[in-house]
Structure formats: C-alpha cells, structure tokens
Structure 1
Amino acid sequence: MSTNDTTNDTQPSDFQRGFDAAAQGGMDPMMAMAMSQLTESCPFKSVMALGAGFALGGLFGMFMSSMDTTTNMDEFTKKSTKEQIRLTLKDMGQRSYSSAKNFAVVGAVFSGTECVIETYRAKNDIYNGISAGCITGAALAAKGGPVAMGTGCAGFAAFSAAIDYYMRHG
C-alpha cells in the first residue's frame, strides 16, 4: 500500500458539497461557482435590493394613497364616477411611483454599503448594518445640510441596529 492509497475520513467542505450538488443537478461545477460568485457580489445585491425596494415601495405607495383623506370630498363626489376612478387611479399611480423610487434608492444604497463594509471587514456582525445605516441616512439627507445628515445618520443607524438585533436574537 503506497502513501497515496490512504483513505480520508474527513467530511467534504461546503465548497465540495456545492460542486457535488451541482454535478448531480446536471449543472457544470464551474458554472455553479460562477453563479455563486455573481449572486454574492455587492453589485448584484444592490440591484436585487433596488428591484425589491421598487416593488415594495410601489405597493406601499398604493396602500398609502388609498388611506389618504385629504381630497376635497364635496368636489370629488360632484364628478362623474368615471372621472372619480380616473383621478383615483392617477393619484395612486403617482404616489406608487414616488414611493417605489424612494424605497429603491434606500434599498440599493443600504444594501450596497453594507456589502462593501462586510467585504472590507470580513465579518458579519451588527456593526456592518449600523455603519451602513449611518452612511445611507447621511447620504439621503445630504441636500439638507450637515445637521440633516447627522440626524439621518443617527436615525438610520438606530433603526438598522434595532432590526439587526431583532433578526439575530429573535
């Protein structure tokens, strides 16, 4: 028996299990690795957050427009049913699109920032989310000046800390 004939009793790595699963599913292992690297990249995560934020923001805007009671009901009820429906749908569309854009920007900036921080630090902990929240809040409030940026930083960081803590500790 040569030295190369020894058996290896160690468990396969996650990397090897991924290759084995890909091979069983008929996917080329190199393609599986490339797909994994793509989906774990910061630009991909940012684009996914942008899309999810746009969709959720649109739904949120639609819901909030249905709850708005600032419309002058006397003038509104004097219009024909067709005109009321047209005005309602127009308002819902405008508010949905506005909320969708805002949620998309927040999602993309936060997700991208958190990913870059996590990659740089090589750690997955609560401080990544807090830092990303601070940067996101400050960036979104930049037009308002330094005080607004500080407030945005503190607000987003606190919210990120609360959400991260809840997600990690239930």
Structure 2
Amino acid sequence: MPTLPEHTDYKPSAFVQMLDRLIGPNRFDQSRGELVVPRTLLPLPVPSQEERALQTLTESCLFKSALASVMGFGVGALFGLFTASLDPAHTLGDPAQLTARQVFREMGQRSWSYAKNFGVLGLMFAGIECTVETHRGKSDIFNGTISGLVTGGLIGLRAGVKAAALGAAGDLVWIMEDFCRDFAVFAMGAAVGYLLCYGKVLPWKRDSPINLSVDKENSKVVHSVEVEEIGDFKAFCRCWRSKQFPYCDGSHTEHNAATGDNVGPLVIKRKV
C-alpha cells in the first residue's frame, strides 16, 4: 500500500473541512470566528455587519409584533369599511333619510373600531408566538397553538373567566390545521371570538344609541330644563349625544334622523 512521504503536507479538501466544521469534532470551536457559507448556484458575498444587524432586527420579537400590529390595523380598517358598506344603517332609521355625512361617519367609526381591535390582536399574537418560539427553540404548530390560546384567553379575560375560557377555546378551533398558522386566519378567529364574547357584533345585542336612562312618556314629549344661567344651554337628556358626550344642546333633529326616535326639542328656561 503506497504511503505519503514523511515531508508531504496533507491539506484536506474544502468538502472535508466543511464536514469537520459542521458535524466533526470542531463544530463547537468558535475561536477562529469563521463563517461557513455553503456554495450556491450564484456566488453571494459574505453579508456585512450592517446586513447582519438588520437581519437580527427583523428577526426580533419587537419588530414582528410591530409589523403584525400595523398589518392588523390596516386589515381591520379595510374589514370595517367592507362591513359598513354591507350594513351601514343597523342603528339608523329609514335608509331613505340617510345623508352622505351619516354614511361616512358610520364607515369611519366602524373602520376605526375594527382597526384598533385587529391591531391589538396582531400585536398580542405575534409577540406571544415569537416569545414562545424563542423559549422552545422550535418552529412548529404548537407555537401557534399556545399563542392562540393565550391570546384568546387574555382578550376574553376582560369580560370574565368564562369569556376567557370561551375565547381560548374559540382560538383553539382555528389552529387545529397547519394552514391556520397564517396570520390572517388567526386574526379572523380571534376577532370573532373577541366580538362574540363582548356581544357587540350582533345587532340585537348592541347597546341602544338612545339614552334610555332618561325616560320618555310618549313620542311627543318636550323636555324642559331650568338652569341658573341662560348660557348653560347644555343638558343631560335622552338623545345619543347626551349619552356620548354626555350633554346635548337641545336640538334633536340629527338624533331623530339617525336613530328613528322622536324626541322633542329641549326647552331651556331660567330658574325663577
């Protein structure tokens, strides 16, 4: 069997060196600080320090959470705009009396509400999933399962323990398949669970826009309020403006047109 001369320097091939660095005894040796770049079809330069820093930033949980929040905000705004276009007058009176201002206001309020909910949902889900994945060191369906359960439970916890359990169970239904790891599907599932827990999505469960804490004996009642100064023309009454602000200025034309109510004008008198 031929042998190499004693003075011959043996140099292993590049393939042997790579095997030694990847699966050989030197795989844990980081003293030389060498970066192993596998050969590809097109040779790529070694990433610079700035590129590696940018890659580290994009892989961080903070960046993923912020990106998911922004994307969720946009998706929620579009979803709210879409639902408002299908049902723009669920709390209004005769649709024939609607004005463009009322329609745009309803669309804006619906879009803003959905955008906030979806933004918070994306922030929570992406942050929890990234944290779980970092802690477990694995990327599988259990990361989405755990994060979905935690997200649904935290969202429903504001309405009580029962709502938290329902929210967690609702998210679990959406994450039983691999395709449910997609953010949009998870966002839809958690949003449905959130809205059902609060009971505001169904028209018959919505709060009335009318301030029902102020009774009205009949449809033609005229409210009369006595004040110390005639300049104090705002009062607490039955209209939606009084419920929201919570004072109105006595003009109920917009309230009656928007809600179908028939509240009379608010008469202001100086207290004798």
Structure 2 length-normalised TM: 0.51
Confirm or deny that 1:16 pairs with 2:37. yes
Contact 1:129 1:157 in 2 (8 A): no
Contact 2:175 2:181 in 1 (8 A): no
Match of 2:68 in 1: 49
Query: Counterparts of 1:64 and 1:49 in 2: how far apart (Å)?
Result: 22
| Structure 1 gap segments, 5+ residues each | none
Q: How many residue pairs align between the two structures?
A: 156
What is the CA distance between 1:87 and its match in structure 2? 1.1
How do 1:1-12 and structure 2 match up within 5 A? 2-3=9-10, 5-9=11-15, 10=18
Q: Which structure has more helix as a fraction of its residues?
A: 1
One-letter identity of the residue aligned with 2:78 = L
Greater Rg by CA: 2
Query: Counterparts of 2:61 and 2:121 in 1: how far apart (Å)?
Result: 15
Tell me how large the CA RMSD over aligned residues is: 2.8
Structure 1 length-normalised TM: 0.79
Q: Deviations over 1:33-74 (max 9, x none)?
A: 111111111110000000000000000000000111525453
Match of 1:145 in 2: 160
Q: Residue 166 and residue 71 in structure 1: after superposition, are their counterparts in 2 closer, same or farther (change >3 A)?
A: closer
| Residue of 50, 70, 85 corresponding to 2:90 | 70
Query: Counterparts of 1:2 and 1:132 in 2: how far apart (Å)?
Result: 56
SS in 2 for 1:16: coil
Contact 1:57 1:102 in 2 (8 A): yes
Identity of aligned residues (%): 36
What is the CA distance between 1:152 and its match in structure 2? 0.8
